[in-house]
Chains A and B, each alone.
Chain A
Amino acid sequence: MPQPLLSLENLIFRWPGQAEACLDIAEFDVAANEQVFIHGESGSGKSTLLNLIAGVLTPQSGKIEALGQPLSALSATARDRFRVDHIGLIFQQFNLIPYLSVLDNVLLPCRFSRRRSDRAGDAKQTAATLLQHLDLDAALWQRKATQLSVGQQQRVAAARALIGRPEIVIADEPTSALDAARQSAFLELLKRECAAASAALLFVSHDQRLAEHFDRRVAMEEINRAAGAQE
């Protein structure tokens, strides 16, 4: 078995000042190019899990390894660097900086990461291609992000998560602000582009109906042994 892209082992995380652990994960692996649906009700610790994988939080014990690097052993600055170099993030809504144009929003990770910028090649061209693939008309690219519909904004966020081909894309409830028809359209686009960019996709949602789009489905309740898991 090849080395997994992302590997969690005996992970325990407790919010400061709380006696009970919020997350207690014995083992959780994601392989390269894998697309995983993580299901969890609110309070199941899924946002905490994402923050841990993204290196914003550090566990009290256990190991998080991404691309062969022990994330939990890195300094805060190194984790910040790792995140922008290797992870693309999409949130529920309000993903975009309101005063930047659509194009500048997509280019944001290239501003902070030399690696993403290098891998994007001609960054503007790459951003344009991504935006086109995500069905965003060229007429929109110079607009302020706030002038777009919520669906369009989420697709811009997807383009931004994918630019510079990070190895991991994390999407946290990216479709919850969309109606059902647009949900699956967005999901298919996202899956297609992640595959094209050879990025693993971690898709987190409380919505079971979306699970059918994924081959691998994981429930937070399965992997999180912490009893009183509360965010």
Chain B
Amino acid sequence: MTHLLPLALRSAWNRRYTLGLTLIAIALSVTLLLGIERVRQDARDSFAQAVSGTDLVVGARSSPLQLLLYAVFHIGEASNNMSWASAQTLAAHPAVAWTIPLSLGDSHRGFPVLGTTAAYFEHFRYGDKQALQLAQGKPFSGLFDVVLGAEVAARLGYRLGDPIVLAHGMRGGAHADEDEHEPGHAEHGDKPFTVVGILARTGTPVDRTLHIALEALEAIHLDWQGGAPIPGFSIPPAFVKKFDLAPKAVSAVLVGLKSRAAVFAMQRHVADFRAEPLMAILPGVALAELWALLAVAERVLLAVSALVLAVSLAGLVAVVLAGLGERRRELAILRANGARPLDLFALLAFEGCAVTVAGAFVGTLLLTLLTALLGPWVEAHYGLVLRLAAPNAAELELLAWVIAVGTLASLLPGYRAYRLSLADGLTPRV
């Protein structure tokens, strides 16, 4: 075959524009295929990284997915709260090591505000059991202190000491890009907060959250009723401490157990809670359920990119087959000068295979380049951390498939060349 290789290369070079276009088409679809695969894996990873080390998530009885969504991802709203008394009973249970009460409902320019306690900074874990780190400042200690997630600070340009006004409800400025809130939307303008800490980036929903004390959440709603300020009634910030600021209810509680073995017993215990209907979910299980729900969309994406690949491989075969008519003379000359029909088959198959392999290689390279260039932007805008890494086993398998299918596809032109050279003999009927 060594005598064929230089010929194949010269012949390919002679048709470099057509083949180049085919190569680009294959490279782009490989980029798309691998890109979707990678975003899918990375999304799943950062999804699963959102919470770790928490054994149970407890909330008012509703759907497990809903509880997971608002407790972990701060998406949507709790339909029912659980009472603070229940939360305290739970915290006092002998099997419980720690609890983190979570209270949601307010927002700041589209970012959710989370009312919690100091336990959050101590016990909350994400990713591979990593603790939260403060990039600047300290956890909240004063009543009107706020600790920002990295994304909130970066996007809104806040620094330590900046004042922040919270908005009531989650709808206010649903998009952080909007500079203005909906007109007339209720704000807690009378009780501004001060930024005392900014968390280090985690790549989880924490980055998009503002953290305040549960008592602060209580304080800003003292003079509110039914989701609106009570007309003609206002309590200035200086006087709020005179009131009882102990929270009356929370949205959910993250629970850490002393022993993981107790998790199912504890789950039953919560389900049988006397005082009010509660439920406890295992975050890992609920995450898997949520992911299964998204799997359909995921598979559709993968199917679309597989189709794109199929189309460009079909393009490759079409280009080579169409070129065969023009190359018939060339093949007959080669045959007259000693090339066997099998040589011509190899020549064509090799060309298709080489274009596919080169396309796969260029596509992978392009993806790496795009990841390097766009990774930071994607992370900043979508909170999705894209890995900049060599293809992993799954991606290599995908590439192997691309190359295998491409090679198989190029056997078709090869076979056609073989048949033609047999039929034409020395005198092509062109």
Per the bound structure, the CA–CA distance linking A142 and B138 in Å amounts to 77
A50 pairs with B426, CB closer than 8 A: yes
B336 pairs with A91, CB closer than 8 A: yes
The residue among B7, B13, B341 with the most chain A CB atoms within 10 A of its own CB is B7
Contact stretch, chosen from B78-86, B129-137, B178-186, B326-334 = B326-334
Per the bound structure, the CA–CA distance linking A51 and B425 in Å amounts to 7
Interface residues on B, range: 20 to 34
Contact partner, A99, options B13, B340, B426, B427, Cβ 8 Å: B13
Per the bound structure, the CA–CA distance linking A81 and B338 in Å amounts to 7
Per the bound structure, the CA–CA distance linking A54 and B427 in Å amounts to 12
Please, which residues of chain B bring their CB within 8 A of the CB of A109?
A: 337-338
Please, which residues of chain A bring their CB within 8 A of the CB of B426?
A: 50-51, 54, 56, 89, 91, 172
A111 pairs with B7, CB closer than 8 A: yes
Please, which residues of chain B bring their CB within 8 A of the CB of A89?
A: 336-337, 426
A214 at the interface (CB under 8 A from B): no
Contact partner, B340, options A47, A80, A95, A172, Cβ 8 Å: A80
A-B contact count (CB 8 A): 68
B425 pairs with A113, CB closer than 8 A: no
Q: A83-B338, A100-B10 are in contact. Are A51 and B330 (CB under 8 A)?
A: no
A80 pairs with B427, CB closer than 8 A: no
Please, which residues of chain B bring their CB within 8 A of the CB of A54?
A: 336, 425-426
Interfacial residues of chain B within 368-417, with CB under 8 A of chain A in the complex:
none
Please, which residues of chain A bring their CB within 8 A of the CB of B13?
A: 99
Closest chain-B Cβ to A97's Cβ sits at a distance in Å of: 6
A108 at the interface (CB under 8 A from B): yes
Interface string of B56-98 (1 = CB under 8 A from A): 0000000000000000000000000000000000000000000
Interface string of B335-346 (1 = CB under 8 A from A): 111111111000
CB closest chain-A residue, reference B326: A98
Interfacial residues of chain A within 22-43, with CB under 8 A of chain B in the complex:
none
Q: A97-B330, A99-B13 are in contact. Are A84 and B427 (CB under 8 A)?
A: no
Closest chain-A Cβ to B340's Cβ sits at a distance in Å of: 5
Interface string of A54-93 (1 = CB under 8 A from B): 1011000000000000000000110011011000010100
CB closest chain-B residue, reference A145: B333
B11 pairs with A80, CB closer than 8 A: no
The 8 closest A-B pairs by CB, nearest first: A84-B338, A112-B338, A99-B14, A56-B425, A89-B336, A108-B337, A80-B340, A111-B3
Chain A residues near B (Cβ < 8 Å) = 47, 50-51, 54, 56-57, 76-77, 80-81, 83-84, 89, 91, 94-100, 104, 108-109, 111-113, 160, 172
Can you identify 24 A-B contacts, CB atoms within 8 angstroms? A50-B426, A51-B425, A54-B426, A56-B335, A56-B426, A57-B425, A77-B340, A80-B335, A80-B338, A80-B339, A80-B341, A84-B338, A89-B336, A94-B333, A95-B333, A97-B11, A97-B330, A99-B11, A100-B7, A108-B334, A112-B337, A113-B338, A160-B337, A172-B426
